[in-house]
Amino acid sequence: MTILRDKNTSVKDFREIVSEIGMLITYEATRDLPLTTKEVETPICQNRGPPQLRAKIRCGSHSPGRLGTWWTACCVSVPGARVGHIGMYRDEETLEPHVYFCKMPKDIEERDIMIVDPMLATGGSADAAISEMKKRGCVNIKLMVLLAAPEGIELIQKNHPDVDIFCGAVDDHLNEHGYIVPGLGDAGDRIFGTK
Ligand code: URA
pLDDT tens-place string over residues 71-126: 677 777 777 778 888 887 777 787 677 888 888 877 878 888 888 888 999 998 88
Reply yes or no on whether 186 is catalytic: yes
Identify the residue whose C-alpha is closest to ligand 1 atom 5.
Answer: 179
pLDDT tens-place string over residues 132-149: 889 989 998 999 999 999
* Residue 49: HSE in the Cβ half-sphere, 13 Å Cα cutoff: 3
Averaged confidence pLDDT in the chain: 85
pLDDT band of 2, cuts 50, 70, 90: very high
Identify the residue whose C-alpha is closest to ligand 1 atom 4.
Answer: 186
Pocket residues: Cβ below 6 A from ligand 1: 119, 121, 178-180, 183, 186-188
Is residue 10 over pLDDT 70? yes
pLDDT band of 194, cuts 50, 70, 90: confident
